[in-house]
Amino acid sequence: MDVMAIVEGFLAAAVRVATPLLLAAAGETVAQRSGMMNLGLEGVMLTGALAAALGAAVWGPWPGAGVAVVAGMLLSGVFALVAIGARTDQVITGTAITLAAVGLTGTIYRQAFGAAGAGLDLPTLSPLAVPGLSRLPIVGRAFFGQPAPTYIGLVAVPVIWWFLFRTRTGLALRATGEAAAVARASGVPTGLVRASATIVGGGFAGLAGATLVLAQVGTFAERMTAGRGYVAIAIVVLGRWHPVGVALASLGFGAAMALQFLFQTLGLKVPYQLFLMLPYALALLALAGVVGRVRAPADLGKP
Amino acid sequence: MPALELRGIHRSFGSVHALRGADFSLLPGEVHALLGENGAGKTTLMHIAAGLIQPDRGAVLIGGVPRPGLSPRTARKLGIGMVHQHFTSVPAFTVAENVALGAGWPVAPDALRRRVRKTSERAGLPLDPDARVDHLSVALRQRLEIVKALAAEARILLLDEPTAVLAPTEVGDLLRVIRRFTSQGGSAVLITHKLDEALAAADRVTVLRRGQVMLTGPAADTTAAQLAVAMIGEGAGDERTEPPSSGARSDAGPLVRLEGVDVAGEGELGITLRAASLTVAAGEIVGIAAVEGNGQRELLRAIAGRIQPLRGRRWVTEPIAFVPEDRTTEGLIPAMTLTENVVLGSSSTEPWIRGRTVDWRTAEARTAALLEELAISVPGPWVPASSLSGGNQQRVVVGRELSRRPSVVVAENPTRGLDIRAEATIHAWLRRAASDGAAIVFYSSDLDEVLALATRIVVARRGTLIEAAPGATREELGALMLASG
Amino acid sequence: MVGAAALLAGLTVLAAGLELAGYDSGTALGALWSGAFGSWYALTSATLVRAVPLILIGLGLALAFRGGAFNIGGEGQFYAGAIAATWIGLSVGGLPTPLAVAAVLSGAVLAGAVWVAIPVLLRVRFGVLEVISTLLLNFVAEALTSLLVQGPLQESQRIYPQSDPIAEAARLPLLPGTRLHAGLLLALAGAVLLHWIFARTLWGFRLRAVGLGPRAAEIAGRIDSRWMTALALALSGAIAGLAGGVEVAGVSYGLFQNLSPGYGFTAIAVALLGRLHPFGVVVAGLLFGALEAGAGAMQREADVPAVAVYVVEAVVILAVLLSESARRHGAAMLASLSSVAPKAPG
């Protein structure tokens, strides 16, 4: 078999699998930089996935993605409202949001598509080849022959970097996450900043869920996010709260998850559950190596 | 027309009347000292001027225009810059980022760096724009606070106890900078509780006591004695100035002995204590004089057994009483009852400890008795510690620690933020513990408190201990605290 | 009081949601009730059977939360316990019942402790937040279960993704005529023991002190807060493991995927609704056991998906959080006024 083709296929799969992680983690980076740890991310992503499926079934894939973004913003808005408005514990509030999302999506899905959960056949986002670049050897297909969400994720990275480190609003947002009291004393409306950051993060997570449905699986299944929202949170930590680090960590996880395809191509027989475990185990290992040497925003998770 | 005027300001917090009809005016180009004891209402008054607190009654006029419902943002736009007692910068940010945050400047790095450097140098307060704030010394952090206010184009500076964290020569530098600011048309309020400083630095002085103005007038026409009377009332100052007599008892061996002890720095202002040696006998009260962050905290915690020294020898006779600096996070658990807080840290010899269980009835009875003995009026030992005033919380902490009949008492800033009465109570308790045969080591950021309470003074500077000569004056101690080398 | 109001809020949201979605909420709630309390069999074999794991895990979480540790990994620790219990249960056929059961349950406790040891170690050694590590390990545990029931633990026919039934000797005794097993007694005894620990022992007091004020516990109380919190986390994992063992020895008699319908997450709601008080956890566990039992009936009889009760649980958690925040703010405001006022103004 052609080694080049295998590497190319592996890379393309890695980037494809990494895309939802990248989107969710990029948005969560903004939220965590403002001091919000949204454990509801898993639920927000799941809600985005269902919203995308419903929207796409009615209006087509792009409006479906739009519906997913709105749904993600709404659900994370609830999280922000409770956690900021009533200063409740972010971890427990986020857990409750995810629980609610599991219940809601399950109920709505069965109501809309029938109890058995027959596979849906949804219109999907097909790959958009970037003229010229997609022909590049090895990396062409991986980075320039993907469906649109991948490009959105890749563009979001420098945009978020610029926003966080080169704008006054970004400075105020980081100050809110580092020392909310100081930011407040400097005239920053910290509650508003945190709520906005969380809602923007929710929009990204919604799009991440949509990507899963519209650009990867082509259908919705209950609990289909299977912990990717939590992995995205781990990625933010691994990426040291920096957009570029987060992008690299996402690609790393994508690669780990794509190993399954590589092994299949190579005809190696390894129980698929090992691949299911891999990203989580890897996240734990990586966290152990990274945390302690990096510092989280000082006011992360504090009401 | 005054640059800033406050008329008939009233403000209460719960049942505490912080301000009761206070008037204050700041003229253009003047330095105005606002004097008063802790709790007199100085900070509250200035917070109202800066829009941080709303008055219950009264008017704030800026440039002659009444500003009802003044917000911090509006106050800043009108040229008011407040330099708080606790620093208000983001520790993880650079100097430049903090200035940009405070002044609302664009954050393009090169332009920002140049602009910050220019502003700080023009004010006579040079700063490295790229330095991270958590790596700055206390004096530089304070400098940053002032630069932030100036960057926001403040015309009126409100400085809250700016000299509390500085050594005497640094104080001189700061006062010169303030002078320079007012000579260029700005006005400044200098909050302080130090008489000599007020008289030396200010054009006019105003004295607050219990939320009311007791005196206001030109500094040149006022004497220190007049200010003292206005601040603390007739004769109230006596107990502070009474020179303590040495109570050391040479008959018994020392209760604290450190020999060549090194301790790693702790916290954001931590510094490594090096080769510290200290001996304290029964009955002695050793006061540590130091500017914030010179190793005194590490020394005290090493004596109290709260930090393990890196090397050296430490003999300290148990039981040790320890009064930590921050009563609400280190001294007490606010959400727990007074009984539970008294049980906290009790040794196995206490009457309420039965093997591995706690006899809560005994503990509660003992706590009630302790509260009675300490004359702390609370509904009962079952109330949460959070329901007590700061003074009573500190009484509980000190009372609990002393009730264990300690051989050694270690206290960090034991009266910080307390009113005069609570301060006097705690001083009396510490003296009594010493006369009962305990060895006492304490630190205070207020040099006057060290002078008032200590029978022997040791200066901590850059992690090194220096024994002060008996009878050393304020000025001599100040020189030791800051000597270079 | 608050708990009842929160539960009422949750059920109201459920009813309103069902109406909106076009279900007959009356029928659905009726089925929910009768599925939970409608008969002796429903009460014992549905509600109480489901309450047992919830109470057990909830007690462990109450211990963890009180000690300042956020264990969100009850689900994974439950599976770890279930795996160990199955493994041991398959091979203790020759032992007398008390010994076999003891072996199964202690294996489960150990497995839960081992599973949580990873987050404990990561926290103590590397400072990794246990929130993230325990969460991630849930997914590893689920994948591991799936791997085992299609591999080494698969039933002897090698057809179904499940284990063989464990030995008769390793099973917990049942209440005659029902599916209710002796695990309930274990859960109740655990609650009494935990209450005694919190209320009477010095260790329990220290644990609470660490949870409420870790710095003060360390400085004023001379307690090693880090160790205490780590221990609380480890114990909560061991107890969740025990719950997995009890489920295998008392209910499922074997291992399969989806053995837990999310007990580890529901137990968070149970612990919170019970206000981290052991007896409160028992009551909340019974209520949620009823809810989960009723959910099954609701799905069968009114065609409402059982997962809908997750929404109820989420609303309950949020309602409890909101009421606590309201209470805390009332108290905090008083406290800050009385303590800050003489301090802040200079």
Please report the pLDDT score of residue A293 as a whole number.
63
Mean pLDDT of C119-138: 89
Q: Categorise residue B27: left if φ over 0, alpha if ψ from -120 to 50, beta otherwise.
A: beta
pLDDT of C102 above 90? yes
Residue B34 parent element (H or E)? strand B31-35
pLDDT of B236 above 60? no
**Which chains have 3+ CB pairs within 8 A of A?**
B, C
Nearest to A24 by CA among A240, A184, A247: A247
pLDDT in tens, C231-288: 999 999 999 999 999 999 999 999 998 899 889 988 988 998 898 999 999 999 999 9
Please report the pLDDT score of residue B206 as a whole number.
94
pLDDT of A8 above 50? yes
Query: What percent of chain C lies above the pLDDT cut of 90?
Result: 59
Nearest CA in chain A to B77: A187
pLDDT of A78 above 90? yes
Please report the pLDDT score of residue B200 as a whole number.
85
> Does A120 reach chain C within 8 Å, measured CB to CB?
no
What is the C-alpha to C-alpha distance for residues B392 and B385, in angstroms, rounded to an integer? 9
Q: Quick check: B147 and B128 in contact, CB under 8 A?
A: no
Q: 3-state DSSP call for residue C178?
A: coil
Please report the pLDDT score of residue A115 as a whole number.
58
How would you label B9-32 residue by residue, b for 16+ Cβ within 10 Å and e otherwise?
bebebbebbbbbebebbbeeebbb
Nearest CA in chain A to C70: A91
Higher-confidence residue of B300 and C8: namely B300
Please report the pLDDT score of residue B246 as a whole number.
54
Measure in Å the smallest separation between the Cα of A108 and chain B Cα atoms. Answer: 43
Mean pLDDT of A263-279: 83
Confidence of residue C27 (pLDDT cuts 50, 70, 90): confident
Please report the pLDDT score of residue B97 as a whole number.
94
* Cα four-point dihedral sign A80, A295, B142, B413: positive
Higher-confidence residue of C216 and A295: namely C216
Measure in Å the smallest separation between the Cα of C309 and chain B Cα atoms. Answer: 34
pLDDT in tens, A181-235: 889 888 889 999 999 999 999 999 999 999 999 988 888 888 898 889 988 998 9
Lowest mean pLDDT among A112-116, B366-370, B440-444, C1-5: A112-116
Residue C117 with chain A: CB contacts under 8 Å: none
Nearest to B261 by CA among B219, B313, B222: B313
Confidence of residue B269 (pLDDT cuts 50, 70, 90): low
**Nearest by CB to C305, which of A96, A107, A234?**
A107
Number of Cβ atoms within 10 Å of the Cβ of B267: 9
CB contact under 8 A, A298 and B91: yes
Please report the pLDDT score of residue B235 as a whole number.
47
pLDDT in tens, A40-65: 999 999 999 999 999 998 898 999 99
Residue C209 with chain B: CB contacts under 8 Å: 333, 336, 340, 344
Q: Return the residue in B77, B82, B90, B133 with the most chain A beta carbons within 10 A, the one to mutate for interface testing.
A: B90
Residue B345 with chain C: CB contacts under 8 Å: 220-223
**Nearest by CB to A95, which of C72, C139, C144?**
C72
Please report the pLDDT score of residue B365 as a whole number.
94
Higher-confidence residue of A28 and A275: namely A28
Measure in Å the smallest separation between the Cα of B90 and chain A Cα atoms. Answer: 6
Query: What percent of chain B lies above the pLDDT cut of 90?
Result: 48
Which DSSP letter does residue B385 get? G
Confidence of residue C337 (pLDDT cuts 50, 70, 90): very low
What is the C-alpha to C-alpha distance for residues A159 and A199, in angstroms, rounded to an integer? 17
CB contact under 8 A, A227 and C126: no
Mean pLDDT of chain C: 89
Please report the pLDDT score of residue B485 as a whole number.
39
pLDDT in tens, C64-76: 999 999 899 999 9
Residue B101 with chain A: CB contacts under 8 Å: 171-172, 175, 182-183, 186, 188
pLDDT in tens, C288-315: 999 989 988 888 888 888 888 888 889 8
Mean pLDDT of chain B: 86
Query: What percent of chain B lies above the pLDDT cut of 70?
Result: 92
